[in-house]
Amino acid sequence: QVQLQESGPGLVKPSETLSLICTVSGGSITSYFWTWIRQSPGKGLEWIGYNYYSGSTNYNPSLKSRVTISVDTSKNQFSLKLSSVTAADTAVYYCARGFSSGLTVDFWGQGTLVTVSS
Amino acid sequence: QSALTQPRSVSGSPGQSVTVSCTGTSSDVGGYNYVSWYQHHPGKAPKLMIYDVTKRPSGVPDRFSGSKSGNTASLTISGLQAEDEADYYCCSYAGTYTWVIFGGGTKLTVL
């Protein structure tokens, strides 16, 4: 059974860069679409983007200028970097494994809360 | 692109059936057969229940079924059980620019 676990700072200052890592266990990171999704307090889910293990990426147009998703096959990890954060980026961030051209995710992490505040 | 529209809450008694709707537009739900449904117990990892409108992943009980008519997709849960109480989210492909969008979520209460 594939398992994913997010890790990273729970508090980030405004204008700084949010950085999270997702560690994948129980399966290889080669193949699949490694995806980040977030949920702001009291709101629905928002797809952030994915990195296909070979390096091709696809990002939410509303976040594209600030997002980078990278895959490290040697560590079975992938990461999220979101620059110039504001309070609006406060959310629970989920990492997930996507298939079917990245249209569907089948395994998720439990999520990690990141608060943007000074 | 706006989020897909779901009812805030639905409820049913054990053994009954409930249906959760997910309304979009011809640019997302109505335009493609790429609707998925996720079950989320707070504090846990969300779980894929239905994908490609009607397909069930291995291990998901056949009490869960999906369908679509026009711009509205639906998740039906028959033979309700206490453990079905959770939040349910729909998701749809929305074209090459937007990619995917989610619904606002529906809280299912088992009475």
- Of all residues in chain A, the one with the smallest CA distance to B5 is A44
How far apart CA B88 and CA B10 sit, in angstroms, is: 10
CB-side neighbour CA atoms (13 Å) of B53: 14
A94/B45 Cβ within 8 A: yes
For the record, the structure tokens of A92 come out as 């629970």
Binary contact (A46, B102; C-beta < 8 A): yes
**What confidence score (pLDDT) does residue B35 get?**
96
For the cut 90, the answer to whether the pLDDT of residue B60 exceeds it is yes
Residues of chain A contacting B43 with CB distance shorter than 8 Å: 110
Instruction: Share the mean pLDDT of chain A.
Output: 94
pLDDT tens for each residue of A15-27: 999 999 999 999 9
Question: How far, CA to CA in Å, does B38 sit from each of B45, B87, B91, B102?
Answer: 10, 8, 8, 10
Interface contact flag, A110 B51, Cβ < 8 Å: no
> Which residue on chain B is closest to A110 by alpha carbon?
B45
Half-sphere exposure of A61 (CA within 13 A, CB side): 9
Q: What is the mean pLDDT of residues B40-69?
A: 96
Of B60, B7, B100, residue with least CA distance to A58: B100
Contact call for B45 and A46, based on CB within 8 A:
no
